[in-house]
Amino acid sequence: MKTALFRPLHIRNLEIPNRVWVSPMCQYSAVDGVVGTWHMVQLGGFALGGSGLVMAEASGVTPEGRISIACPGLWSDEQAEAFRPIVEFAHSYNVKMGIQLAHAGRKASTLRPWDDHLIASAEEGGWQPVSSSEIAFNDSYLVPRALSIDEIHELTEAFVVAAKRVVNVGFDVVELHAAHGYLFHQFYSPLANTRTDEYGGSFENRIRFLLETAVAVRKALPDTVIFVRISATDWVEDGWDIEQSVELAKRLKAVGVDLIDVSSGGNSIYQKIELKPGYQVEFSNRIRNEAEIMTNAVGLITEARQAEAIVENGEADAVMLARAFLRNPHWTQSAAEELGEKIYWAPQNERGRTLT
Ligand SMILES: Cc1cc2nc3c(=O)[nH]c(=O)nc-3n(C[C@H](O)[C@H](O)[C@H](O)COP(=O)(O)O)c2cc1C
């Protein structure tokens, strides 16, 4: 009998060979939004590590939607095509690939984290960020311009066009990035959204932009597997919370979203996160069981038995790991070994299975 972690997961017509997935990670290594050799090596390396699904990073659906000047974009066919060889490589080892469609909103126009300052000037390729309201994330970020209703509708269309592009180059999963204080989160959290039109105020109004976008992407791509990554809580009193997340998940399920990728935080400098192993699993558990939608857990999941227990106990349908894969891209193969599973290794790497 297979462990829970290494049982395939079926979503629509997609079979994901196991439930250990690579979480999306910004690489700050694209040029004019186009990915290159770094991404091939990094994502290709993850694909050789045995995970069932590798998620490519937050990729801007418009130029202003990128987090940094070095994030990938999806506003041109050329940018999407640059992912094609990576996706084909992963597929040749039976690894599925997803990608995060993103708009950074007020947290945009940065340099890379390892540069000597945060905000990119116009000369450095920076731009005027936009958001739900004219409230900066903090003193280090630019004050955004509030989007007009027409612009909100245009962005929904930009997500649809980007989604079609990534499906066209072979991606198996489209994920809307609605977590970590980026644009969708800047709409659904009352801490960032002070609008008085139909996109602000009540719960219904705050979730409208995300919901309308999910509807539009589902309409354009009736058979594609769609995930939405949310922040289940702002970790701030009177902010966005798990009760609202459960309700949002029910709405997303009703419009055809397949899975909620459950993260948290990133929207307020006042957040008080209770960090501990698997600190976001409880949110995944509540959303999965109360909204009755598939979820994955993420966040400080680092041990094989911990990951196995999360899936086995029904707290999530899968787990995503990020930093553990930066430490060891073959984490999944090691976890399989520890749990007594024999999983696929690329033939070129087979001789590494044993040292005897
Ligand atoms: C280098 C790096 C880049 C990240 N970029 C993204 C991203 O593009 N999109 C996203 O949703 N989360 C991003 N994250 C968050 C991770 O996907 C993950 O949710 C978080 O690191 C917690 O998981 P972990 O404890 O396994 O690292 C990033 C994390 C790291 C370390």
Q: Would you give the DSSP letter of residue 353?
A: S
For ligand 1, is residue 232 a contact (CB within 6 Å)?
no
pLDDT at 352: 93
For ligand 1, is residue 68 a contact (CB within 6 Å)?
no
pLDDT at 118: 98
Tell me how far the alpha carbon of residue 261 lies from the centroid of ligand 1, in angstroms: 12
Tell me how far the alpha carbon of residue 23 lies from the centroid of ligand 1, in angstroms: 6
pLDDT at 59: 99
What average pLDDT does the segment 159-179 reach?
Answer: 99
Task: Say if CB 267 and CB 183 are below 8 A apart.
Answer: no
Structure tokens at 171: 């991606």
Residues 6 or more apart whose CB falls under 8 angstroms from that of 5 comprise 18, 19, 20, 304, 307, 308, 311, 312, 319, 335, 339, 341
> What percent of the chain is modeled with pLDDT above 90?
98
Q: Calculate the average pLDDT of the chain.
A: 98
SS3 281: helix
For ligand 1, is residue 104 a contact (CB within 6 Å)?
no
pLDDT at 355: 86
> CB-based burial of residue 353 (10 Å sphere; 0-12 exposed, 13-18 middle, 19+ buried)?
exposed
For ligand 1, is residue 30 a contact (CB within 6 Å)?
no
| Tens digits of residue pLDDT in 309-335 | 999 999 999 999 999 999 999 999 999
| Tens digits of residue pLDDT in 104-154 | 999 999 999 999 999 999 999 999 999 999 999 999 999 999 999 999 999
| Tens digits of residue pLDDT in 333-356 | 999 999 999 999 999 999 999 888
User: Catalytic site residues?
Assistant: 182
Closest by CA position to 99, among listed 70, 60, 148:
60
Residue 1 has pLDDT above 80, yes or no: no
> Closest Cα to atom 15, ligand 1: which residue?
25
Residue type, 39: H
Q: Which domains does the chain have, with CATH numbers?
A: 9-348 (3.20.20.70)
Q: Atom of ligand 1 at shortest distance to CA of 321?
A: 26
Tell me the backbone φ, ψ of residue 287, rounded to 5 degrees.
-65, -45
Task: Say if CB 131 and CB 88 are below 8 A apart.
Answer: no
pLDDT at 38: 98
For ligand 1, is residue 300 a contact (CB within 6 Å)?
yes
Tell me how far the alpha carbon of residue 313 lies from the centroid of ligand 1, in angstroms: 24
> Closest Cα to atom 22, ligand 1: which residue?
299
CA distance linking residue 8 with residue 19, whole number of Å: 7
Structure tokens at 247: 């309700």
Residue 2 has pLDDT above 90, yes or no: no
For ligand 1, is residue 102 a contact (CB within 6 Å)?
no
What average pLDDT does the segment 32-43 reach?
Answer: 98
Tell me how far the alpha carbon of residue 115 lies from the centroid of ligand 1, in angstroms: 19
Residue 306 has pLDDT above 90, yes or no: yes
What average pLDDT does the segment 240-258 reach?
Answer: 98
Beta bridge partners of 185: none
